[in-house]
Chain A
Amino acid sequence: MIQSFKMALKSISGNKMRSFLTMLGIIIGVMALVILVSLVNGTTSSVTDTINSLGSNMVGVTVSNDYGNPVRKEDLDEWVKRPNIGYAAPIASGSMTGKYNSTSKTVTVYGTTEQYFTIKKSELSIGRFLKSSDYDNHTNVCVISSETAEKLVGYTSCLNEEITLNGSKFKIVGVLKENKDASALAAIMGGGNLEAYIPYSSHVRLSTDTSNYVTSFYLSAAEGFTTDSVKTVINQIMLERFNYDEDAFNVQSTDTLEDAMGNITAILSILLGGIAGISLVVGGIGIMNIMLVTVTERTREIGIRKAIGASRGAILRQFLIEAVVLCMIGCAIGIFLSWSFLRLVTVIVSSLDLSFGMNGTVVIVAVSFCFFIGVVFGLYPANKAAKMKPIDALHYSE
């Protein structure tokens, strides 16, 4: 066995250029596999981080059938007192025409309370959030996104300016900090709308679709509690409230979004990995091709070996090991080059806060796949060599 291994190395190093060209197919295949899958994984973790920054530990509830027992803001205030639940905010949204002087834009207006900003982990660039007194007094004040400030008002430090939403005047009391990740994601998801936040009670007056019966609200987990526990608690509350009808409401958390994202990237990994796998198979065919040439070239050597007592198995082993060794060297070079490439990419895009580590699983997959390919595509040429009759092989003239 060790002898066959040495012979294989000798034969491979005896024809360096040809061996390298043969290996090239495997090298490229392995690189494609390892790099693509690692890139997908690296991007995934970055996207997952972005989703988390949209507000993790957040549970969204929508009510579609209230069975005559609608949720009110007072109920939310009651539920917040439960240990698991940190904050609760009603949310109502509607598209409205926003006006400032002569500028007119469509603005998505959210009616909510002060707790919303805590749940969403929003940050202010200037001014203040909504206050509970704003809700109580139906104040016509609004907090707007920095994009709204730029596009509707024209400048971001626009505190105390007044904009008109569906004909009613609202005073700007705060401008939110731009969330780069979130706005990028919003742009991908077809959003990118201008946003304004007003007290829920004001939204009720402004929009006919919104009433004091809250049909949609957000909850966050209290310190030390998981989103899942909040989901369980609110699910129980809702079931009790709505005659144990599971279809009357819907509880969703950002975990669901993460799961969906995970599914997408898993599919993407398999898809890209599959394509890379095809190139590995093509590389394997290259190995088979060159092994067939080698076997023909070395017919006389095979004859000599057989004449002095090499069994079929010994010849088969020799050529099979040669094919597998060729594959595995290619695999090792491919993995090393992939590693170097990924390090390089990580350095180049370091400003984007992305990190592309080599995925251990994909390396194991690549190595075992290469081994498999070496055996499968080495078997036919090796068998051809082993089957040769010693006299025919001995008298073979080159």
Chain B
Amino acid sequence: MISLKDICKTYRIGTEVVHALDHASLEVEDGEFVSIIGPSGSGKSTLMNIIGCLDIADSGEYLLDGIPIEDYSENELATVRNKKIGFVFQSFNLINKLTAYENVELPLIYQKLKKSERKARVRAALEKVDLVKRAEHFPTELSGGQQQRVAIARAIATHPSLILADEPTGNLDSKTSKEIMDIFHDLNSQGNTIVLITHDRNVAKQAKRSVNILDGRVSEATDDSIV
């Protein structure tokens, strides 16, 4: 599914060079539920951007579904993000001018699907997160948990190979966090591959497998070694 080998990424902040990723390697199999855990500044956001095809590594090899990503042009990356990856962000990142329905529909519009097909998929996705009744509400009229559920519906509407969640519970209270995590568990049990990035070890523990990231280096974590 995902195969990262010796990925390096450096940033230049002013005159200082930051090695965000230092020969990081990671394998994720189909149907896995992997959490990537690390403190802030450990390079986990960079890793997430590279896995999510929002950014390209300086060196190393990244295979997504067996396809090398680094040779892709910007537009090809857009297509990959559209069809293979479903994003769930900490800050939800819904478009406030669009209703819940329209937000979920948006990636399908970029796939140039027919209206009837879009309607069926949006409905199915909203059913999975139990928000059919709120379809015509705007994000500002929804609670944080509901907004994140809309975001999850948007991520799964395209039937992506990979659901990539970046601190999905970071802005939510513990009760709604649990609801969201339950949805992820459900999705995983239905066969979806999930990569979840967090700094919260309680959240990370819920995944079947956890990976530590520290100073740009990735290592497998046992229950004890989760930082």
* Interface residue ranges, A against B (CB under 8 Å): 3, 10-11, 14, 300-301, 303-314, 390-391, 394
Contacts and interface: CB of A to CB of B under 8 A. Distances in A.
Q: Which 9 A-B pairs have the closest CB atoms?
A: A309-B82, A308-B107, A311-B78, A309-B110, A304-B93, A309-B81, A311-B75, A390-B54, A391-B54
Contacts of A308: 81-82, 87, 106-107, 110, 154
Nearest to A390: B54
A314 B81 CA distance: 14
Interface of B: 49, 52, 54-55, 74-75, 78-79, 81-83, 87, 89, 93-95, 97, 106-107, 109-111, 154, 158
B154 A394 contact: no
Contacts of A312: 74-75, 78
B78 A306 contact: yes
A390 B81 CA distance: 11
Contacts of B83: 309
Contacts of A305: 95, 106, 110
A3 B97 contact: no
A314 B110 contact: yes
A309 B109 CA distance: 10
B192 to A, nearest CB: 17
A44 B86 CA distance: 67
A390 B53 CA distance: 10
A309 B107 CA distance: 6
B95 A394 contact: no
Query: Which of A3, A308, A314, A391 has the most C-beta atoms of chain B within 10 angstroms of its own C-beta?
Result: A308
Contact of A3 (B94, B109, B154): B109
A310 B105 CA distance: 13
Given A307-B87, A308-B154, A313-B75, A394 B81 contact: no
A310 B54 contact: no
A307 B74 contact: no
B172 to A, nearest CB: 19
B147 to A, nearest CB: 13
Contacts of A309: 78-79, 81-83, 107, 110-111, 158
Given A14-B97, A304-B93, A391-B49, A311 B110 contact: yes
Q: Which of A10, A305, A307, A390 has the most CB of B within 10 A?
A: A307
A10 B106 contact: no
A301 B89 CA distance: 14
